[in-house]
Amino acid sequence: MSESDKYKTISECAQLFPGITESSLRRWIKSGKLTDEALLYTESKHKAGRMVTLINTEVLTQHLAKAENSKTEKSTVAFNGTNQVAGIIDDVKGTYESFISYLKEEVEIQRARADEAETRAQKAEGELKLLTHQPPSESKVKAKENESKKYDLGDFFMYTAIGIMVVILAMLLMQQFKYSL
């Protein structure tokens, strides 16, 4: 066997051996099922500078033979043409019923968690509203009332002072006209 027949690319090996895919060969190379002695790394003939992995077909054949021998026979149940389940139906039903009850419990737990989360979210939203839209405290309200009363009394004195000054100016103007005529 020549060197070119002995080593083949991954895609050629996938075509040569039925039931093997390129991805399974790559996984075997990566995991170490195909050792470095079975691999040859060379530069591609078609693309310069690109490396290609070649696999020794003899080693791959031996590896597949070992894998085929190591497979255990699976026990099968005779099929009599019905949709019958092998084994006692109560055993099968029991496992499904326990699984369904487990799922129901999990759904209830998740529902309770969702309710708790909703309650916490509403509480946090209420606290946030209090922080952003807080009504004024009683002391602030009283201070504003006192302040507005002060302004009313101060305004009253200011208006009376302005009124007195206007009256004095009017009297002075009248006296000026009285003597100028």
- CA nearest neighbour of 25 among 74, 64, 79: 64
38 pLDDT band, cuts 50/70/90, is confident
- DSSP string covering 129-180, please? HHHHSPPPPHHHHHHHHHHHHHHHHHHHHHHHHHHHHHHHHHHHHHHHHHHH
- In DSSP terms, 53 is beta-bridged to 41
Please give the model's pTM, rounded to 2 decimal places: 0.35
For 39-85, the pLDDT digits (tens) are: 777 776 766 767 777 888 888 888 787 777 766 555 555 555 555 55
SS3 call for 103: helix
